[in-house]
A and B are shown apart, each in its own frame.
Chain A
Amino acid sequence: MTAYPESSVRKTLADPKLQLAIYSSTGRLMNHRRAQVAPAALPDYQELRTQANLVKKHTIENLDHYLEQFEARVRAHGGAVVFCKDGNDVSDFVLKLAKERGARLLVKSKSMTTEEINFNERLERHGLEAVETDLGEYIIQLAHQRPYHIVAPALHMTRYDVAELFTEKLGVEKETVPEKQAMIARRTLRQKFLTADIGVTGANFLVADSGAVVLVENEGNARMSTTAPKIHIAVAGIEKLIPRAQDLVTFLKLLGRSATGQPLTVYTSFLAGPRRASEIDGPDEFYVLLLDNGRTRLLTDREKRQSLYCIRCGGCLNACPVYRKIGGHNYPWVYSGPIGAIITPQYHGVMHDPWLPFASSLCGACGEVCPVKIDIPKLLLDLRSEITKAKAREGKGRIEKLSFRMWAWLMRHPKLYEMAGSMGAGIFGDGERKGWVKRVPGPMNVGPLKAWMSQREFPAPAPKSFRQLWRERRRTNGA
């Protein structure tokens, strides 16, 4: 079980450079998105969202059918599908295949799913080199860090951080110009691409009627990873399925725009099996590893299974005022932001990080931008209810529960509620001018009041409540 990382959050909040990096990067992504989903740019944006939601709903509700269809099509094109219970199954398969083929070097394109199962670490323990090729992922791999954002893994790092990192880990001379840093990465990674035995990717979409893996990127590293090496392995959660290639019309229009404000990313690859006999290049072997890792459990909840519609655009992170303050590393799992807040409790149990669904002001910005219309705010509320119930079962949170019980009782007894209100007003002294309180006396400076006062002044209860004023006014008006 984790506790709310208060001191780490404070550090993040107190770091002006980091705050600026997070706020401006997410702000820029939001502005790009807003421009590309505006009515002038995409007049049918809302219809596309509705369509995406309906297609995902249908797919998830018939997931077994589409899994089987997908598998049949992959095999028909000469590929293979492997169902994996968890990260162990995935790494076992890859290690076994690597051993059989004498493979030692893997190149990877960006995949949150592989982060989820600590894929690289597992392989490295067995002597296989798995090199991240997406520039942001490459940087954080060198730094031994987790991705900071679903779409922009190195969002928190400056060019100076990158310069130090490259010098330390690659032995190159200190270089602080980003364009030159990118060229260093390009040179280093090109060698890896051309000599790698296996290319490992995730999948943005799995297309059931085609047995295809769809990869969406801007750099070309996914193309490189799936063209140069002789073996392509795609690791994807079972929820990545969509029924038809034609559904890509809807999803591709939403993904790029929601993530980075691009109508289409630079490269969209639709890969259906190993190369055909007559084709000149492409992998000789093609495997899709379909990962459960708890997804089948999420499926059992009719209301919350909509969390599986997620297409990992990162839009909710960019819109979330909490993410934009605390950044990706203060979340307990690899998935951060609002989507992380609703799926982490579902994968790890609501009592694993019981603070997480409460770390939201419920502003609703996430639900507003979600391209597949996941009702994130509602799911946060549902999870909060589940957590209070779980706490009660475990005998925790008694004081809070009791407070709300008493509060509810008071709210059902208007006269007593009024009396309580007058008492509150009385504490701040007779005849004191209605105002704001800068400091509260020591004994009172506890709990919620102390928390409030640490950041703000508190309004003193009004000397006369509304209902008192109303009665007086009615008496005056002779009502």
Chain B
Amino acid sequence: MERDVILHKVRTALGRSAGQEPTLPPPARVVIPEAAAEDRVKSFCAALEALAGTALQASSKEEARDYVASLVAGKTAVASNAPFLAECGVTGLAEVRSGINGREELRELCATADFGITSAEYALADTGTLVMLSSPQEARMVSLLPPVHIALLRRERILTGLDELLSLIPLPAEQTSSMVLITGPSRTADIEQILIRGVHGPGQIHVILV
């Protein structure tokens, strides 16, 4: 079996035998900075806006809902099943379809919708990043197929950065088959290094911090 041949070659090259314990690994380097909640919010917003994303600090769920309403007015939107979206009243908006559990149906809607609305598990302050974990409440394609992505989350969910994220979730695979870090709108610079947005993911992203 190729597996055994390759493993054998590896062991021979390294002078190791089957079942031999590995040497001690260097400890993972995780350094969590101190940052007050307010600073995290500021930092997140600044980082996202530097990437041409839009960050809104909503002082209430109603404000958040109204903002979403103004964006999606007269257009079509798909929302994930995140409870927070219902809490904010977003799923109640006329333009928003939600509560979909079937893959095919969801794909068709996402493929034609103008907006995809999700929550997020966490956000990362230093890079303006959203942390999306795939689950029955959050399907992958809602934040991917439509040309505009809107995310709503509580500001308490903002972490300082990757270090804090991976110390809170050291083993993401135990929880989900997909953890995606989203940092700003989709972009490419493949033609003459010119920056172009929206190929292939959403070209616009709005994050509402409640």
Contact = CB atoms under 8 A, between A and B. Distances in A.
Contacts of A68: 7
24 contacts: A54-B26, A55-B28, A62-B16, A63-B14, A83-B3, A83-B5, A135-B188, A135-B190, A152-B190, A155-B193, A182-B188, A210-B172, A211-B173, A219-B186, A228-B141, A248-B162, A262-B183, A264-B127, A271-B178, A272-B177, A276-B176, A280-B106, A281-B139, A290-B6
Interface string B120-145: 00000011010000111001110010
B141 A278 contact: no
Interface in B1-33: 1-3, 5-7, 9-14, 16, 18, 20-23, 25-26, 28-31
A143 interface: no
A135 B199 contact: yes
A276 B200 contact: no
A411 interface: no
Interface in B175-200: 176-194, 196, 198-200
A218 B199 CA distance: 9
B210 interface: no
- Closest 3 pairs (CB-CB, A-B): A220-B201, A272-B173, A136-B190
B188 to A, nearest CB: 5
B200 A274 contact: no
A84 B28 CA distance: 30
B58 interface: no
Nearest to B80: A280
A305 to B, nearest CB: 8
A83 B6 contact: yes
Interface string B140-176: 1100100000000000000000110011011111001
A58 B28 CA distance: 12
Given A186-B200, A223-B201, A276 B5 contact: no
A372 to B, nearest CB: 13
A181 B191 CA distance: 9
A389 interface: no
Interface stretch (A237-245, A429-437, A462-470): A237-245
B141 A28 contact: no
Interface of B: 1-3, 5-7, 9-14, 16, 18, 20-23, 25-26, 28-31, 100-103, 106-107, 111, 126-127, 129, 134-136, 139-141, 144, 162-163, 166-167, 169-173, 176-194, 196, 198-202
B183 A265 contact: yes
Contact of B28 (A246, A270, A282): A246
B188 A296 contact: no
Contacts of A58: 22-23, 25-26
A227 B140 contact: yes
Contacts of B181: 264, 267-270
B193 A28 contact: yes
B173 A247 contact: no
B185 to A, nearest CB: 7
B33 to A, nearest CB: 11
Interface string A203-230: 0000101111000001111011011100
Interface stretch (A249-257, A330-338, A400-408, A420-428): A249-257
Contact of B136 (A134, A179, A182, A280): A280
A58 B140 CA distance: 34
Contacts of B102: 280
A309 interface: no
A385 interface: no
Contacts of B171: 209-210, 245
Contacts of A243: 25
A419 interface: no
B177 A276 contact: yes
A159 to B, nearest CB: 6
B113 to A, nearest CB: 14
A131 interface: no
A139 interface: yes
Contacts of B103: 280-281
Contacts of A25: 193
Contacts of A159: 191-192
A71 to B, nearest CB: 8
B64 to A, nearest CB: 24
Q: Which of B20, B126, B129, B178 has the most CB of A within 10 A?
A: B178
Nearest to A290: B6
Contact of B7 (A24, A67, A279): A67
A189 interface: yes
Nearest to A226: B178
A77 B173 contact: yes
B2 A83 contact: yes
Q: Which of A154, A262, A271 has the most CB of B within 10 A?
A: A271
Nearest to B187: A218
